[in-house]
């Protein structure tokens, strides 16, 4: 994710340069720039064109401009080449590349494209045509290269509507794509048997890779994975890398049960040779289509190859040769219309003319096209996950997923927008349930919502408070404005994509529909899960999200409270006692005034650590008080296991770094021990300390004790909590800390006593009774 | 009433104890070619009959891997016919598996009717003698050990005693030097077992062997509380392992065939082992039982203190949902990293797995054995 930052700032820089050029009225005209680039960039490919461009000065052919854009765009692609009517993203470009491309086009051509336009339709020819329409100073393109929809499917002119409608061009294309389903062959029903040979697409994706493992675990099938790569070795490497990145195993045991097929979902016959296509058509007995381009910024034209035509190619494979069921991973995006009232498994899908975002349109079109395929006899299962949350056990998450982005934004900004429901389920449940459908013939051919139990706003706020993150609720518009402002001012590279989504008008429609949508219903899925004895859907709550949140924080997307933040809870501790040099009586007074604090409850539960600041006063160290620069207290270190064989269990360990007034550095190591003795109260307060200069061994040792009368005053009554919290939250925080600490100390003190009691019990004679059953 | 030891009607019975399982080893249940399975007659130095099995790979140059089962399990758990098992994977990976049935195996009668032992005996006699025997057979080929649960715990005692020097690598599953049980399990083990021990000497797991109405009936009833699975054997292993409240496996990780075979795979747990287990668990480290018996003085009083004697790389494996030993392995890694930083110790957590299912689970080959192969492969 590191390079994202560089790219984004490079983009900002380039944009600023281009803007300054425009403001300053740079002497160069568009055509001059065009000529310059084409002379430099592509002399051997189109030798005649620079001349033409120079000759026909005022009017630039759209095709020529498209070719130029294609040349520039080609530099960002793995194949170093892009044809003018191919989509930049389909050819392997990423969102980051798109940002760079826009900057590059500005720099070289002086044409400023809106980033959203590029996302909506990233074919150079479309970009050129749009620029032409906007400026109006070029010849119209002689032949538009968009596939013309059949006349019969063209829409009548749309009447004025109260809602935002999809683009006319998009609707035409969607209708044309739906008609492709009518060309599928007719087929008969497949054998209702658990599959033995499965084709899986999208195995390198987040859901796909989890499904691959679940297919292997829960069936005896051999799985063919279609992976986009040049050859089989590259494909296997790519698949292995993907699995490892999601913390999934990749070993010889997995490789022996899969076959990796280099291919491409967007190409006819999946980019496979005819022989392979034919043998697959006759050998496979199940097809699972998970592959999709998941990008909320790109438009329908940019996504249809992967999301719609890809699905239709799989349907063709399913209907050819031996009949086999097609299991299609759709999305609740098919309901993603602002104001939809119900999202049940058999409820009508959204109105296509009210779907704005290209992703929603493409998932809708794919599902509707496959519904038509059902009329050709094909068994099609449509499974619609909602948000797919991180794995509850490994924490693996999808960094490009909107819900991960939102989750980290919630935790970082401590605010949430007022949504109705979050239809999200963890990937392990979604994957397991989807695989159960694939493996159970009785479940084939229906629609399922794999949305789990929806989270309400209340649930989320409560969960986050439970995790020590007290969030405040805002209206969606207010939240969005705040979040965008903070994302821009704080420069968080890992969240750049979220910032882009929150500023894209079409992606915003998608977000708005998600935020305001109803709870998705999953009656059929729930019935299936129960019938098969699978783990029922559980709410994706704080506990289930914990691993994901920790991983988000590790990767820089999320942020856990840290040592230097304003503490969540703190109190003071004073100790008094004496120390002395080794081998001498401990007669030098030594006292400490410490402030113990925690930044979050998470720190306690995961690291069992309390932060320490304060001063130490001891003439043997320095005449002046010595400052505790940083320090940690670990509660019950090593589960209390004694350092040496014996009954002296560890209760607390202090490790402090000290700086004296002359800049001399010291360390202090303190331990509290639990022993099976009756002075329990003193054991919890007495600290055995060793003090030494940094890098040297201990020079002083002794014991300091918390005075009995100050304990309750300082450490119970004196607990302070972050003043930003409400009094209810403060009280809860204080009680949680006391309960946790009390439990830990109780457990620690019990350790040695339990061992002594067991030793006494072992004195009993162990008889072996004559063993008879009855 | 149900716990009464002497029933007036039974006083007339002969004093001879009925031995329900034969003195000989129960046959191994596997789907390997019988010609490739070599059963070696093997007795420990104190005279106890043990089982040692070599799986012949037809290749004399392979590194050997000794596999140790857990207490009350047996070598059957590594050759189970219904799923792809560890022995299959090791054979395909180019190793020669050796299976030891140490004295706590359910293929042997010791747990139910045999003579008492402690884990000291396992660490002092069974494991070192098996290793020596294998060494005599394989010469200077490398020898690895893969150990599960108590097999691994006893192995840690042997290793820290220096009785099995020069291993090429050790894979430990579930627990190693720092056993840790849940508080409720520990409590039941300490208190409830103390109350039961004068009445019964083992807790069976197979309902069919003791019948519906026996003095164990209340134990089965107790184990069935809040259980989701109706199978009594599953209840007394999964819902409450030998009535301790712990869970031995994640239910959905087992195939149906394995689930139905649980009574073959795991046997009754003797109660007379509990004092040693309790001492180990409360100390949270592996400790010797015999303090005054000089025959055992080769063993260290506390294996964790003697961990510096470990001379081999160790891979600590544990399922993230281990319902018996909890996060003992992670704790062990942390403590060894702090106290013995020179040791080569690695910890891998298997997400979604419990304790036994790391070997018995239907997906174990995919999720677990790959890690074992990787570890062995780097050191062979």
Contacts of A393 in chain B (CB under 8 A): 320-321, 351-352
Q: Measure the CA–CA gap between A398 and A386, rounded to whole angstroms.
A: 13
Has residue A42 got a pLDDT over 50?
no
CB contact under 8 A, A641 and B283: yes
Report pLDDT for A106: 83
Q: Measure the CA–CA gap between A394 and A245, rounded to whole angstroms.
A: 11
Report pLDDT for A122: 81
Residue A155 lies in a domain: no
Has residue A34 got a pLDDT over 60?
no
Residue A36 lies in a domain: yes
Q: Measure the CA–CA gap between A267 and A314, rounded to whole angstroms.
A: 11
Same domain, A657 and A697: yes
Confidence of residue A698 (pLDDT cuts 50, 70, 90): very high
Contacts of A747 in chain B (CB under 8 A): 183
Q: Look at B356 and A52; give whichever has higher pLDDT.
A: B356
- The complex scores an ipTM of 0.91
Average pLDDT over residues A441-454: 95
CB contact under 8 A, B214 and A773: yes
Report pLDDT for A159: 53
Report pLDDT for A493: 77
Report pLDDT for A577: 95
Has residue A444 got a pLDDT over 50?
yes
Between A148-152, A410-414, A759-763, B80-84, the lowest mean confidence (pLDDT) is in: A148-152
Has residue A597 got a pLDDT over 80?
yes
Contacts 24+ apart (CB under 8 A), A21-24: A21/A110, A22/A110, A22/A112
Same domain, A548 and A574: no
Average pLDDT over residues A113-127: 80
Residue A503 CB-half CA count within 13 A: 18
Q: Measure the CA–CA gap between A632 and A650, rounded to whole angstroms.
A: 15
Report pLDDT for A554: 86
Report pLDDT for A302: 87
Most confident range (mean pLDDT) of A25-34, A131-140, A243-252, A336-345 is A243-252
Chain segment A620-660, per-residue pLDDT in tens: 999 999 999 989 999 999 999 999 999 999 999 999 999 99
CB contact under 8 A, A771 and B201: yes
Question: How many angstroms away from the CA of B326 is the closest CA of chain A?
Answer: 12
Same domain, A547 and A582: no
Residue of B282, B286, B378 to mutate, interface with A, max A Cβ within 10 Å? B282
Same domain, A537 and A619: no
| Nearest to A206, CA basis, from A263, A94, A291 | A291
Average pLDDT over chain A, rounded to whole?
Answer: 86
Domain stops at, among A710, A727, A744: A727
Average pLDDT over residues A691-705: 94
Report pLDDT for B7: 53
Q: Measure the CA–CA gap between A310 and A275, rounded to whole angstroms.
A: 19
Average pLDDT over residues B75-92: 96
Chain segment A161-207, per-residue pLDDT in tens: 566 677 888 899 999 999 999 999 999 999 999 999 999 999 999 99
Residue A160 lies in a domain: no
CB-nearest partner of B198 from A638, A643, A767:
A767
Q: What is the number of domains present in chain A?
A: 3
Has residue A49 got a pLDDT over 50?
no
Confidence of residue B4 (pLDDT cuts 50, 70, 90): low
Has residue A238 got a pLDDT over 60?
yes
Residue A542 lies in a domain: yes
Has residue B6 got a pLDDT over 60?
no
Average pLDDT over residues B346-351: 96
Residue A723: give the domain boundaries: 569-727
Angle among Cα A417, A421, A427 to the nearest 5 degrees reads: 105
Average pLDDT over residues A31-40: 48
Residue A758 lies in a domain: no
Confidence of residue A64 (pLDDT cuts 50, 70, 90): confident
Confidence of residue A765 (pLDDT cuts 50, 70, 90): confident
Has residue B115 got a pLDDT over 90?
no
Q: What percent of chain A clears pLDDT 90, i.e. is strictly above it?
A: 59
Q: What are the beta bridge partners of residue B50?
A: B42
Confidence of residue A56 (pLDDT cuts 50, 70, 90): very low
Residue A774 lies in a domain: no
DSSP A453: B
Has residue A774 got a pLDDT over 70?
no
Has residue A499 got a pLDDT over 90?
no
Average pLDDT over residues B274-297: 94
Interface contact A536, partner B, CB < 8 A: no
Same domain, A441 and A518: yes
Chain segment A397-427, per-residue pLDDT in tens: 988 778 778 888 888 888 999 999 988 899 9
Report pLDDT for A167: 81
Has residue A530 got a pLDDT over 60?
yes
Average pLDDT over residues A107-113: 82
Residue A228 neighbours by CB distance under 10 Å: 19
Same domain, A575 and A530: no
Q: Measure the CA–CA gap between A639 and A180, rounded to whole angstroms.
A: 65
Has residue A47 got a pLDDT over 50?
no
Same domain, A365 and A498: yes
Q: Where residue A61 sits, what CATH number does that domain have?
A: 1.10.1200.10
Contacts 24+ apart (CB under 8 A), A81-84: A82/A124, A84/A123, A84/A124, A84/A125, A84/A128, A84/A145
Contacts of A641 in chain B (CB under 8 A): 178, 283-285, 304, 335
Confidence of residue B227 (pLDDT cuts 50, 70, 90): very high
Residue-range domain boundaries for chain B: 8-12+182-272, 34-178+292-379
Same domain, A269 and A412: yes
Is CATH 3.40.50.1820 what the domain over B34-178+292-379 is classified as, yes or no? yes
CB contact under 8 A, A641 and B304: yes
Q: Where residue A215 sits, what CATH number does that domain have?
A: 3.40.50.720
CA dihedral A664, A665, A669, A670 (to 10 degrees): 50
CB-nearest partner of A639 from B180, B320, B338:
B180
Between A153-157, A677-681, B144-148, B332-336, the lowest mean confidence (pLDDT) is in: A153-157
Q: Where residue A702 sits, what CATH number does that domain have?
A: 2.40.128.120
Q: Chain A, 414-433: which have a CB under 8 Å from a chain B CB?
A: 428
Chain segment A137-161, per-residue pLDDT in tens: 554 444 444 454 454 445 555 555 5
Report pLDDT for A152: 46
Same domain, A543 and A579: no
Residue A751 lies in a domain: no
Q: Look at A543 and B302; give whichever has higher pLDDT.
A: B302
Chain segment A672-696, per-residue pLDDT in tens: 999 999 999 999 999 999 999 999 9
Average pLDDT over residues B176-201: 89
Contacts 24+ apart (CB under 8 A), B262-265: B262/B205, B262/B231, B262/B233, B262/B234, B262/B237, B263/B205, B263/B206, B263/B208, B263/B209, B263/B233, B264/B29, B264/B76, B265/B73, B265/B74, B265/B76, B265/B77, B265/B80, B265/B106, B265/B360
Contacts of A645 in chain B (CB under 8 A): 285, 287, 301-302, 304-305
Has residue A755 got a pLDDT over 50?
yes
Has residue A41 got a pLDDT over 60?
no
Has residue A750 got a pLDDT over 70?
yes
């Amino acid at each position: 994710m590191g390079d994202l930052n560089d790219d984004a700032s490079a983009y900002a820089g380039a944009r600023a340069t281009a803007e300054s050029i425009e403001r300053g009225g740079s002497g160069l005209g568009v055509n001059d720039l065009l000529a310059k680039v084409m002379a430099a960039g592509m002399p051997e490919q189109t030798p005649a064109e620079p001349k033409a461009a120079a000759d026909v000065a005022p009017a630039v052919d759209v095709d020529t401009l498209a070719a130029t854009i294609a040349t520039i765009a080609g530099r960002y692609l793995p194949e170093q080449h892009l044809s003018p009517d191919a989509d930049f993203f389909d050819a392997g470009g990423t969102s980051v590349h798109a940002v760079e491309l826009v900057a590059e086009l500005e720099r070289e051509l002086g044409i400023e494209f809106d980033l959203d336009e590029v996302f909506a339709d990233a074919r150079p020819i479309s970009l050129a045509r749009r620029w032409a329409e906007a400026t109006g100073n070029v010849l119209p393109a002689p032949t538009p290269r968009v596939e013309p929809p059949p006349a019969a499917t063209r829409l009548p002119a749309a009447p004025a509507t109260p809602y935002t409608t999809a683009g006319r061009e998009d609707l035409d294309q969607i209708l044309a794509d739906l008609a492709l389903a009518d060309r599928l062959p007719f087929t008969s029903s497949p054998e209702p048997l658990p599959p033995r040979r499965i084709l899986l697409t999208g195995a390198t994706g987040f859901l796909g890779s989890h499904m691959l493992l679940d297919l292997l675990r829960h069936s005896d099938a051999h799985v063919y994975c279609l992976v986009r790569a040049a050859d089989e070795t590259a494909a296997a490497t790519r698949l292995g890398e993907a699995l490892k990145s999601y913390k999934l195993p990749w070993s010889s045991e997995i490789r022996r049960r899969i076959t990796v097929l280099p291919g491409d979902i967007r190409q006819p016959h999946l980019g496979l040779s005819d022989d392979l296509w034919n043998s697959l058509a006759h050998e496979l007995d199940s097809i699972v289509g998970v592959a999709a381009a998941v990008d909320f910024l790109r438009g329908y034209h940019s996504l249809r190859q992967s999301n719609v035509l890809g699905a239709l190619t799989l349907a063709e494979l399913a209907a050819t040769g031996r009949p086999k069921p097609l299991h299609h991973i759709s999305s609740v995006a098919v309901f993603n219309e602002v104001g939809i009232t119900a999202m049940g498994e058999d409820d009508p899908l959204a109105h296509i003319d009210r779907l704005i975002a290209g992703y929603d349109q493409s998932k809708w079109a794919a599902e509707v096209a496959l519904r038509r395929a059902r009329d050709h006899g094909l068994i099609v299962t449509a499974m619609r996950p909602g948000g797919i949350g991180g794995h509850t056990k490994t924490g693996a998450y999808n960094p490009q997923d909107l819900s991960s982005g939102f989750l980290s934004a919630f935790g970082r900004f401590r605010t949430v927008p007022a949504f109705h429901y979050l239809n999200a389920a963890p990937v392990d449940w979604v994957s397991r349930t989807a695989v159960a459908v694939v493996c159970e013939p009785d479940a084939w051919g229906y629609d399922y919502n794999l949305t789990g139990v929806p989270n309400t706003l209340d649930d989320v706020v409560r969960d986050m408070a439970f995790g020590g993150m007290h969030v405040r609720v805002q209206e969606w518009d207010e939240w969005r404005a705040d979040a965008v402002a903070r994302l821009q001012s704080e420069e968080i590279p890992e969240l750049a994509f979220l910032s882009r989504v929150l500023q894209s008008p079409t992606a915003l429609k998608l977000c708005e529909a998600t935020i305001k949508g109803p709870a998705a219903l999953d009656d059929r899925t729930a019935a299936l899960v129960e019938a098969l004895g699978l783990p029922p859907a559980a709410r994706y709550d704080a506990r289930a999200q914990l691993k994901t949140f920790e991983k988000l924080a590790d990767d820089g997307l999320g942020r856990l409270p840290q040592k230097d933040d304003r503490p969540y809870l703190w109190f003071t501790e004073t100790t008094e006692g004496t120390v002395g040099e080794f081998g001498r009586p401990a007669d030098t007074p030594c006292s400490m005034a410490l402030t113990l604090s925690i930044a979050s409850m998470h720190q306690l539960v995961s690291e069992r650590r309390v932060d320490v600041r304060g001063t130490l006063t001891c003439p043997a160290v320095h005449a002046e008080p010595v400052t505790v620069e940083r320090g940690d207290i670990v509660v019950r270190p090593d589960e209390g296991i004694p350092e040496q064989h014996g009954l002296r269990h560890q209760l607390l360990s202090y490790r402090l770094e000290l700086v004296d007034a002359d800049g001399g550095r010291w360390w202090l190591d303190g331990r509290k021990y639990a022993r099976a003795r009756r002075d329990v109260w003193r054991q919890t307060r007495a600290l055995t300390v060793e003090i030494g200069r940094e890098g040297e061994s201990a020079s002083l040792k002794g014991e300091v004790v918390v005075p009995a009368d100050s304990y309750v005053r300082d450490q119970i009554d004196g607990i302070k909590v972050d003043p930003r919290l409400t009094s209810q939250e403060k009280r809860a925080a204080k009680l949680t800390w006391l309960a946790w600490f009390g439990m830990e100390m109780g457990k620690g003190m019990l350790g040695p006593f339990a061992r002594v009691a067991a030793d006494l019990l072992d004195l009993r004679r162990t008889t072996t009774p004559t063993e008879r059953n009855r | 009433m149900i716990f009464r030891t002497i029933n007036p009607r039974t006083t007339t019975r002969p004093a001879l104890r009925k031995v329900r399982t034969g003195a000989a080893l129960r046959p191994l249940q596997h789907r390997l070619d019988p010609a490739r399975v070599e059963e070696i007659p093997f007795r420990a130095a104190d005279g106890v009959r043990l089982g040692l099995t070599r799986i012949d790979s037809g290749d004399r140059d392979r590194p050997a891997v000794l596999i140790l089962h857990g207490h009350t399990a047996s070598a059957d758990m590594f050759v189970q016919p219904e799923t792809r098992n560890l022995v299959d994977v090791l054979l395909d990976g180019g190793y020669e598996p050796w299976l030891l049935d140490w004295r706590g195996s359910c293929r042997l009668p010791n747990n139910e009717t045999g003579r008492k032992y402690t884990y000291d005996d396992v660490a002092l006699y069974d494991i070192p003698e098996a290793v020596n025997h294998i060494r005599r057979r394989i010469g200077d080929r490398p020898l690895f050990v893969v150990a599960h649960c108590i097999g691994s715990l006893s192995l840690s005692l042997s290793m820290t005693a220096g009785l099995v020097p020069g291993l090429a690598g050790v894979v430990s599953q579930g627990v190693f030097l720092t056993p840790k049980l849940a508080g409720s399990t520990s409590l039941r083990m300490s208190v409830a077992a103390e109350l039961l021990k004068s009445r019964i000497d083992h807790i069976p797991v197979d309902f069919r062997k003791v019948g519906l109405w026996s003095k164990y009936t209340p134990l089965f009833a107790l184990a069935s509380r809040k259980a989701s699975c109706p199978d009594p054997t599953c209840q007394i292993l999964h819902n409450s392992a030998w009535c301790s409240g712990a869970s031995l496996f994640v239910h959905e990780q087992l195939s149906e065939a394995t689930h139905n075979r649980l009574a073959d795979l795991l046997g009754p747990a003797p109660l007379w082992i509990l004092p040693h287990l309790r001492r180990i668990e409360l100390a949270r480290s592996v400790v010797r039982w015999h303090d005054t018996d000089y025959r055992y003085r080769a063993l260290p009083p506390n294996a964790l203190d003697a961990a510096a004697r470990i001379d081999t790389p160790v891979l600590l494996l544990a399922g993230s949902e281990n319902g018996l030993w909890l996060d003992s392995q992670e704790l062990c890694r942390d403590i060894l990293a702090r106290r013995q930083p020179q040791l080569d110790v690695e910890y891998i957590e298997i997400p979604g797995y419990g304790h036994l299912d790391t070997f018995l689970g239907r997906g174990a080959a995919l999720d677990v054995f790959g890690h074992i192969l990787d570890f062995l492969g780097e050191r062979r």
